[in-house]
Amino acid sequence: MIQDADFITRLKQGDPDAFRKLVDQHQIPLVRLCKGFLHNEEDARDVVQDTFIEVFESIRRFREDARLSTWLYRIAVNKSLNRIRKNRISGWLVQLDLFTPSEQEDGLSVDSALQVAEETPDSGGKTRIIRKAVDTLPESQRIAFVLHKYLDLSYKEISTVMEVSLPAVESLLFRARQSLQKKLYNVYKKNVL
């Protein structure tokens, strides 16, 4: 991916061709990243669109001491997490309305997903369990896991995006893997998977 001073200068000047190139180059990685959090293609594309709009509006504030992609990933992660919080609140509000049963999957715990999977032990149930296992990770572990598994970032790149040390990333990923392994093993023990 191109990151040179001239390209960034053109972006800061509002050059539409430069911006189009930026969108084309980073579109797919960003959608993958957002899908890691949102598990929904449409929501992921919405968030990616918002990310690029924010980048366009604040490119002049971009400090060239970091990579452009790092900055893009940070914005996309924050926007994805904000969308999750917003969806969660909407889900609670829908559930408060007793006459409108919620059809949203968000808000299901791993145990609830397990119950559903026992009732529907097909690939849809398995998918739900795996997603919920990832979604119920603590936030920093989840971010590190998604950056590693969905974006294929190295530990060093993850430490740059998350602004933490390399040992911290190693620790986060280790704990995320252990947590996922334990959750899936609990489900496996109940013979659902």
Partner 1 sequence: MKCKDVRTNLPEYLEGGTAPGMKSVAEHLAECESCKAFSVVLEEALHHIELEKQTEFDPYLFTRIQAGIENRRNQNRFGYARQMARPLAYAMVFIFLLVAGIGLGRMFSNQQALATDYKTEIFYLQDEQSYLQDLVSE
Binding stretches for partner 1 (CB under 8 A): 16, 19-20, 23-24, 27-28, 31-32, 35-36, 39, 41, 44-45, 48-50, 52-53, 56-57, 126-127, 130, 133, 149-150, 177-178, 180-181, 184-185, 188, 193
Nearer of residues 27 and 140 to partner 1, judged by Cβ: 27
- Kindly list the distances between the CA atom of residue 20 and the CA atoms of 32, 97, 119, in Å, as whole numbers in the listed order: 19, 44, 47
Dihedral of alpha carbons 4, 2, 46, 114, sign: negative
Amino acid letter, 6: D
Kindly state the smallest distance separating residue 103's Cβ from partner 1, in Å: 21
- Please state, as a whole number, how many other Cβ atoms lie within 10 Å of the Cβ of residue 136: 16
Nearer of residues 57 and 103 to partner 1, judged by Cβ: 57
Tokens 């093993």 belong to which residue?
A: 185
Nearer of residues 102 and 126 to partner 1, judged by Cβ: 126
Kindly state the smallest distance separating residue 192's Cβ from partner 1, in Å: 10
Tokens 């180059």 belong to which residue?
A: 25
User: Would you state the structure tokens that stand for residue 9, as one six-digit string?
Assistant: 């200068």
Kindly state the smallest distance separating residue 32's Cβ from partner 1, in Å: 5
